Structure 1
């Protein structure tokens, strides 16, 4: 069983989408199922409507989940598990205030050492706990041995016990911390494999330790994805436009192209252009590079062009708002443009009123009238060209530039003899619209 567990606090990052896609592909490979879990326990942050945004984006990418969970619905289980750990002496109440802890952290910083909780409250007697009126958190006692796990990408990873202190599992307001909620939810929901970003590597031993202390014996496997670097070679942040899935969709990249590129990124694949369904046939999480992958928007643009070319007639009509007669025209313009808005603009310019510069307007009008007066539109561009040159005596730039402007609305573009077969059946409509 695989899961994608986003926090609904902002626009989805491509790193999160990449993890969702990988988890989904793996779930299709072994048919174990895919869970969407909205981690909504952080009530301090505004999440209104963000869960719906997440679901809409996943649906756009063809990601289907068998079960939807909201983490906040599991609060009673989080509290019961915390109580169990307290009763068994595996956890303890901590009355240290934020001010006290901050002071200790500052002292550790001054000494140049990593802060570790010093166990102030770990050995309080029952009476000291019961008689203490202060609010408290619940801490899980630190492990006394090395914690290891095998990462499907990075190999075996070990954490010495001195590097994991007695960490908080329940806050003073009796809500779970991220690690505790995540660990117990994965246990409750039968998750067997988690693919997520490498920023979670240090969370994994804590989550494994939580489940072990609760007596859970089923193994959960992990793969931690290396970070994605921006064009400057630094980790992509929310300040980078391309890090936002919404920005990429709004810019005109197809969901299928974005998914293709994210699977390709830092990976060894048998081909460059594929769908998620095709990726299911060859995807191997172990082939993901251990090194960070650099985001290349030019490569994404290439992938986008290829997906426009391979799209079905129905998909083209849906994406570009055209009828079937213009589908091949859309694909033709991928030689010039990669993005949906750019291609839409070129198609629109052909079938819209044109602004013809004054130096070409007279000849453009002559050519327009001659074409409109033709009893039959020639099958080949060269035949049309010969007829028009004979009738108008125009040649060279005086012929080709006004004709190009009449047909495309642009002074530059693809060769007219290549474009002509795609527009000849609509040429009179185009000329009437260009007035």
Structure 2
């Protein structure tokens, strides 16, 4: 048997974090088992669906690297198939037409509540029987599935273990509405059957749907998939994850500067574990993943941990991978990197200092663009009269330097100035840093100077000296 999983979002909004984790778990299990992963768009709610939401889901899946083997399938294009199966169930007396109006059902429900009974649909209720008897062909009706009245539904959830629900607790659910639209619990069964889905990984909010769906599978003579229901994701405060906790859409994490590999690594650990290991390559995730290692308990989202992971991936990933995802942020910040050093070299130098790609894009601007002002605090502290002589000496040595390398800059400029003027490294290092970068924070100044380039370094030291001269003149 080929294992086949699916991710089946509804296009009524963005791809949220909970859905992304479900998609990741489904994808990983399929890959772990040498199986296939199907993407299905559950768009039967024609009023709430939007193409924008479909595009957001597809974009989020592609950004995460969760490529599907089949699909995307759209339920809205399969109505003929659903009607065919409805007709089959009607012909086999496993479904029936119900003409009871919404008002009548509400009236019966009110009576049941007044009598302290559990509100439920009862096909044998005298008022429903009368309504059906009085109906004529062509009157509006729903189609209901004839749910078994005896026995129980039992299934072994891969995460939660044995679950049993009595059939007496379930009523005859609607499988097609009066407007002809099929309902969720029905169409997912037909889809999973037709698409050969063997394992269904989804959120715990679907547990109550599962017994109803199993009865429909069995009525159709279809194989019942294996189910795995994941616990929810909570915010840092223990409440259900929502917008007030920050980003909840996958693409918001892209916008905020996270790498897909970092987010995937973080999401996989939100409920799944392999010993004490925290950092996983994609290959390790696939090799180690199993459904029964997913926790039954809810997981709390921790932004600090995500930032730590993202910093790790920025530092340790191939610079080309980081550059590919950094480009979106460079475009957003309108930073053109054509006039400067190779972006991969800058990433290797600056990346380890940044938690996000937004920070990285902000911190590398001075490599590619000249600036007209120094950061006020850094200039006040380090571009003073005492820095004039060291900067002048450094300028002369920079201009004379023939081979522009980090080692030569360190030895023949910075160390040489310290030796010549008998000063400590900080007396020249910090003024040089402010002069060359415009601010007081950067990686090793000799490495920065090499990437900034000789001509720009000369121009910026001269600008710093002019700043000092003006400052002294105004003192």
TM-score over 0.5 (shorter chain): yes
Q: Would the alpha carbon gap of residues 189 and 81 (structure 1) be closer, same or farther in structure 2, given more than 3 Å must change? A: same
SS of alignment partner, residue 217 of structure 2: helix
Structure 1 match to 2:330 = none
Whether contact under 8 Å (1:227, 1:293) holds in the other structure is yes
From 366, 381, 387, the equivalent of 1:349 is: 366
Q: Which runs of structure 2 are paired with 1:291-370 in the superposition (5 Å)?
A: 291-321=297-327, 325-354=342-371, 355-356=373-374, 357=376, 359=380, 360=383, 363=387, 366=392, 369-370=395-396
Structure 2 match to 1:94 = 98
SS of alignment partner, residue 49 of structure 1: helix
Structure 1 match to 2:334 = none
Q: Using the TM superposition, give the Cα deviation of residue 313 of structure 1 relative to its aligned residue in structure 2, in angstroms.
A: 3.3
Q: Would the alpha carbon gap of residues 319 and 215 (structure 1) be closer, same or farther in structure 2, given more than 3 Å must change? A: closer
Structure 1 match to 2:433 = 404
Q: Using the TM superposition, give the Cα deviation of residue 259 of structure 1 relative to its aligned residue in structure 2, in angstroms.
A: 0.9
Q: Would the alpha carbon gap of residues 311 and 335 (structure 1) be closer, same or farther in structure 2, given more than 3 Å must change? A: closer
Structure 1 match to 2:331 = none
Q: Would the alpha carbon gap of residues 121 and 110 (structure 1) be closer, same or farther in structure 2, given more than 3 Å must change? A: closer
Q: Using the TM superposition, give the Cα deviation of residue 290 of structure 1 relative to its aligned residue in structure 2, in angstroms.
A: 0.7
The yes-or-no answer on 1:215 pairing with 2:241 is no
Q: Using the TM superposition, give the Cα deviation of residue 301 of structure 1 relative to its aligned residue in structure 2, in angstroms.
A: 1.2
Distance 1:263 1:320 in 2: 23
Q: Would the alpha carbon gap of residues 238 and 196 (structure 1) be closer, same or farther in structure 2, given more than 3 Å must change? A: farther
Structure 2 match to 1:386 = 415
Distance 1:41 1:432 in 2: 65
Distance 2:367 2:459 in 1: 9
SS of alignment partner, residue 40 of structure 2: strand
Q: Would the alpha carbon gap of residues 399 and 422 (structure 1) be closer, same or farther in structure 2, given more than 3 Å must change? A: closer
From 10, 24, 27, the equivalent of 2:27 is: 24
From 58, 63, 71, the equivalent of 1:60 is: 63
Q: Would the alpha carbon gap of residues 429 and 129 (structure 1) be closer, same or farther in structure 2, given more than 3 Å must change? A: farther
Q: Using the TM superposition, give the Cα deviation of residue 204 of structure 1 relative to its aligned residue in structure 2, in angstroms.
A: 1.0
Whether contact under 8 Å (1:371, 1:428) holds in the other structure is no
Whether contact under 8 Å (2:238, 2:300) holds in the other structure is yes
Distance 2:393 2:302 in 1: 45
The yes-or-no answer on 1:157 pairing with 2:174 is no
Q: Would the alpha carbon gap of residues 199 and 301 (structure 1) be closer, same or farther in structure 2, given more than 3 Å must change? A: same
Structure 1 match to 2:471 = none
Distance 2:292 2:258 in 1: 28
Whether contact under 8 Å (1:368, 1:431) holds in the other structure is no
Q: Deviations over 1:116-158 (max 9, x none)?
A: 1122489849983762654111111232221111110100111
SS of alignment partner, residue 223 of structure 1: strand
Q: Would the alpha carbon gap of residues 406 and 352 (structure 1) be closer, same or farther in structure 2, given more than 3 Å must change? A: farther
The yes-or-no answer on 1:276 pairing with 2:282 is yes
From 54, 73, 76, the equivalent of 1:72 is: 76
Distance 1:308 1:388 in 2: 35
Whether contact under 8 Å (1:368, 1:406) holds in the other structure is no
Structure 2 match to 1:46 = 49
Q: Using the TM superposition, give the Cα deviation of residue 339 of structure 1 relative to its aligned residue in structure 2, in angstroms.
A: 0.3
The yes-or-no answer on 1:197 pairing with 2:194 is no
Q: How many residue pairs were aligned?
A: 431
Alignment root-mean-square deviation, CA: 2.9
Structure 2 match to 1:421 = 447
Normalised by the size of structure 1, how large is the TM-score? 0.89
Whether contact under 8 Å (2:394, 2:414) holds in the other structure is no
SS of alignment partner, residue 242 of structure 1: coil
From 431, 441, 457, the equivalent of 1:431 is: 457
Q: Is the deviation greater in 56-65 or in 176-185?
A: 56-65
Distance 1:151 1:190 in 2: 19
Whether contact under 8 Å (1:2, 1:35) holds in the other structure is yes
Q: Would the alpha carbon gap of residues 390 and 111 (structure 1) be closer, same or farther in structure 2, given more than 3 Å must change? A: farther
Distance 1:194 1:382 in 2: 63
Q: Would the alpha carbon gap of residues 100 and 129 (structure 1) be closer, same or farther in structure 2, given more than 3 Å must change? A: closer
Q: Deviations over 1:195-241 (max 9, x none)?
A: 1111111111111111111222x231011111001111011135543
Q: Using the TM superposition, give the Cα deviation of residue 8 of structure 1 relative to its aligned residue in structure 2, in angstroms.
A: 1.1
Q: Considering only CA atoms, is the larger Rg found in Structure 1 or Structure 2?
A: 2
Structure 1 match to 2:262 = 257
Q: Using the TM superposition, give the Cα deviation of residue 37 of structure 1 relative to its aligned residue in structure 2, in angstroms.
A: 0.9
Q: Would the alpha carbon gap of residues 86 and 238 (structure 1) be closer, same or farther in structure 2, given more than 3 Å must change? A: farther
Q: Could you list the runs of 5+ residues in structure 2 that have no partner in the other structure?
A: 328-336, 464-475
From 24, 37, 46, the equivalent of 1:34 is: 37
The yes-or-no answer on 1:81 pairing with 2:107 is no
Q: Using the TM superposition, give the Cα deviation of residue 433 of structure 1 relative to its aligned residue in structure 2, in angstroms.
A: 6.7
Q: Using the TM superposition, give the Cα deviation of residue 291 of structure 1 relative to its aligned residue in structure 2, in angstroms.
A: 0.4
Q: Which runs of structure 2 are paired with 1:132-147 in the superposition (5 Å)?
A: 134-144=139-149, 145-147=151-153
Q: Could you list the runs of 5+ residues in structure 1 that have no partner in the other structure?
A: none
Q: Is the deviation greater in 116-125 or in 283-292?
A: 116-125
SS of alignment partner, residue 31 of structure 2: helix
Q: Deviations over 1:259-315 (max 9, x none)?
A: 111111122225322233321111111111110011111111121122222322321
SS of alignment partner, residue 373 of structure 1: helix
Q: Using the TM superposition, give the Cα deviation of residue 407 of structure 1 relative to its aligned residue in structure 2, in angstroms.
A: 3.1
Distance 2:452 2:441 in 1: 20
